[in-house]
Amino acid sequence: MKKVITYGTFDMLHQGHLNILKRAKELGDYLIVGVTSDDFDSRRGKINVQQSMMERVEGVKETGLADQIIIEEYEGQKIDDINRFGIDIFAIGSDWQGKFDYLSEFCQVIYLERTKGISSTKIRTKNNHLRLGLVGNAGRIWKVSNEALVINGIDIVGTSGNDGCDKRVSNLENFSFKDLIDKSDAIFIESNVRDRFEQVKYSLEHGKHVLCDLPMAIGKRKQQYLFEIAKKNGCVLMSGIKTAYSTAYYRLLLMVKSGEIGDVLSVETTCTSLSEVSKISSYSENNIWSAMDAWGATALMPIFQILGTDYIDRTIVTKSIDKYFDLFTKMDFIYENAVATAKVGKGIKSEGEMIISGTKGYVYVPAPWWKTEYFEIRYEDLNKKKRFFYELEGEGFKYELVNFLRAINHGRTINYTGDNVLKEVSRIYEEFYNRKDVNLI
Ligand code: C2G
């Protein structure tokens, strides 16, 4: 009698699992299925499992394919099992290709093709509506919850961090951070810049998908670390700069990259807002965002997306009130064949436009460019000017939420902003806060 063994978590048993069990069974006469214990899964970093071990064992049992079910409880158990049960073939999905070659010393090892397009992660969100928790400053959270209402498949669980002070979110329950994470499948984070890293990290570690404003972390290494935890836990980690998800902005990038204005020589962005800054003496206490915190990432994004992150030199000049509160900051970058400038202000006002200059023409995006609906491509010959208009509903949160939902359903992250852009933005914030090569005026 030929004995086959296979292992798995088998969370929310699906067609992929069924296929592998069938194929494994066909390899021999007797199939033993090792189902992971909850402890073993959490030790190996798989903490997003929805069903208890008993439910998962029941699922495997119901298939009628297993002649025997055992529990996998410790590292190294596979060798013991193979010897104990006199196994002829060890079978596992092709996502593990090569990882179990070491078992071939004890029996035959066969990797079976993994079923494409289906996974437990996908089912977790498909079965239920996505329960979305909102973390951060009330004013913005209100806008997000408003736009999320119209999206099919998203239920807002509540907020954390708004302290119930904003009447516009009074219909949403305010939870402690940990309670909110516990109750949600996915988290939207637009909190104070320096709180984000710990919040994103905690959410990912608890198997929750995260959509977070930029920067997510202060420092490139921390951003990289977040990518790694997301990957390990099978979570989507997406950047939440809403501009990146607007159709007009996306089209604009494509056109620039396809050479519509020739070679790009310069990118200039300006983002400013006037608020009650002048009346306030203590900024951090009053939860007012500084120029960099409110605008820095948005202003940097197109520069790094268009020209990349391999600049040769950069200069930052800032007019700051304290280490964490700048009123105005100007960042200049020099590339091998181009230059770029980002200007951000809080409590000063300027024209919030974006200009991308090329060897054949230039792109002009009028203020406020970060809510891009309209832009022009202009050439020396005025008659050749092209106008583009793509309506932006609301503030654009809707588009990023829809993309977030789609990424979760497809089980993969589509970062419109690019991982290297996210890392570079984090680096600039670190250098800025540390005043590394930053000029004060
Ligand atoms: N599988 C598949 N197709 C899918 C999903 C899963 O063929 N779309 C296979 C996997 O390759 C694995 C089995 O189904 O062989 C169980 O998958 P999981 O439940 O994800 O368990 P896993 O983490 O792969 O456990 O000791 C545990 C084992 O090493 C594997």
pLDDT of residue 408: 85
Instruction: Work out how many domains the chain is built from and give that number.
Output: 3
Residue 409 in any domain: the answer is no
Query: What confidence tier does 411 reach under pLDDT thresholds 50, 70, 90?
Result: low
Q: State whether 209 and 316 are in the same domain.
A: no
Torsion of CA 14, 16, 22, 28, to 10 degrees: -130
pLDDT of residue 59: 87
For the stretch 236-291, pLDDT in tens is 999 988 898 887 898 898 889 888 899 999 999 999 988 765 555 555 555 678 99
Residue 437 in any domain: the answer is no
Query: What confidence tier does 63 reach under pLDDT thresholds 50, 70, 90?
Result: very high
Token pair in block for residue 331: 């960042």
Integer CA distances (angstroms), 322 to 276, 349, 428, in order: 17, 20, 17
The strand ranges marked E within 292-324 are 313-322
CATH of the domain at 311: 3.30.360.10
Q: State whether 380 and 253 are in the same domain.
A: yes
Token pair in block for residue 58: 């029941």
pLDDT of residue 62: 87
The whole-model pTM stands at 0.67
Q: State whether 385 and 254 are in the same domain.
A: yes
Query: What confidence tier does 9 reach under pLDDT thresholds 50, 70, 90?
Result: very high
Q: State whether 57 and 183 are in the same domain.
A: no
Which residue in this structure is represented by tokens 């998203």? 154
b/e 164-182 (16+ beta carbons within 10 angstroms → b): eebeebeebebbebeebbe
- Confirm or reject: Cβ of 7 under 6 Å from ligand 1: yes
- 95 exposure class (CB count in 10 Å sphere: 0-12, 13-18, 19+): exposed
Distance between CA atoms of residues 45 and 199, nearest Å? 19
Identify the helix (H) or strand (E) that includes residue 124: helix 120-127
Q: State whether 167 and 87 are in the same domain.
A: no
pLDDT of 107 > 70? The answer is: yes
| Residue 223 and residue 200 in contact, taking contact as beta carbons nearer than 8 Å | no
Poorest-confidence range of 28-42, 143-157, 204-218?
143-157
105: phi then psi, degrees, rounded to nearest 5:
-70, -25
The residue out of 75, 100, 118 marking a domain boundary is: 118
Q: State whether 114 and 142 are in the same domain.
A: no
Q: Whose CA is nearest to atom 12 of ligand 1?
A: 93
The residue out of 98, 118, 138 marking a domain boundary is: 118
pLDDT of residue 197: 97
Residue 114 in any domain: the answer is yes
Measured in angstroms, how far is the CA atom of residue 403 from the centroid of ligand 1? Answer: 27
Q: State whether 113 and 160 are in the same domain.
A: no
| Residue 428 and residue 329 in contact, taking contact as beta carbons nearer than 8 Å | no
Query: One-letter amino acid identity for 265?
Result: L
Tell me which residue range forms the domain holding 386.
247-391
CATH of the domain at 27: 3.40.50.620
Q: State whether 290 and 253 are in the same domain.
A: yes
| Residue 92 and residue 78 in contact, taking contact as beta carbons nearer than 8 Å | no
Q: State whether 56 and 151 are in the same domain.
A: no
- Confirm or reject: Cβ of 118 under 6 Å from ligand 1: yes
Token pair in block for residue 378: 């202009």
Integer CA distances (angstroms), 432 to 291, 322, 325, in order: 12, 12, 11
Residue 430 in any domain: the answer is no
| Atom number of ligand 1 nearest to Cα 117 | 8
Q: State whether 252 and 385 are in the same domain.
A: yes
User: DSSP states of 237-273 as a string?
Assistant: EEE--GGGG-HHHHHHHHHHHTTTTSSEEEEEEEEEE
Residue 436 in any domain: the answer is no
Q: Give me the residues paired with residue 133 across strands.
A: 158, 187
Q: State whether 180 and 219 are in the same domain.
A: yes
Residue 290 in any domain: the answer is yes
Token pair in block for residue 166: 């904003």
Q: Whose CA is nearest to atom 30 of ligand 1?
A: 8
| Residue 229 and residue 201 in contact, taking contact as beta carbons nearer than 8 Å | yes
pLDDT of 150 > 80? The answer is: no
CATH of the domain at 169: 3.40.50.720
- Confirm or reject: Cβ of 93 under 6 Å from ligand 1: yes
Q: State whether 264 and 195 are in the same domain.
A: no
- Confirm or reject: Cβ of 411 under 6 Å from ligand 1: no
Residue 423 in any domain: the answer is no
Distance between CA atoms of residues 154 and 187, nearest Å? 11
